[in-house]
Amino acid sequence: MRYARLAVAWTLSHPAVDVAMVGARHPAHLSETVGAADMLLTQEHLSEINRIVADAVPVIGPSPEGM
């Protein structure tokens, strides 16, 4: 499973999310995420992701991706 596809599928699994906007610098990047719309994450998958990110430290600021 590609990480980008998993990230988009996880975003789309949230009930408040209807659309995930994916940025790409190269057309090949889009092929990595295109399958996310059809990917169904089980409750087991979501529980494991929640366990992994439970201790994550939030990055805040004007440009967190630049940090």
Contact status, residue 20 vs residue 44, Cβ threshold 8 Å = no
As given in the structure block, the two tokens for residue 32 are 């990595």
Residue 43 has pLDDT above 90, yes or no: yes
Instruction: Please give the pLDDT value at position 62.
Output: 75
Residue 26 has pLDDT above 80, yes or no: yes
What is the DSSP code (8-state) at residue 54? Answer: T
Q: Where exactly are the structural domains of the chain?
A: 3-66
- Model confidence band, residue 29 (pLDDT cutoffs 50, 70, 90): confident
Residue 41 has pLDDT above 90, yes or no: yes
Arithmetic mean of pLDDT, 39-47: 94
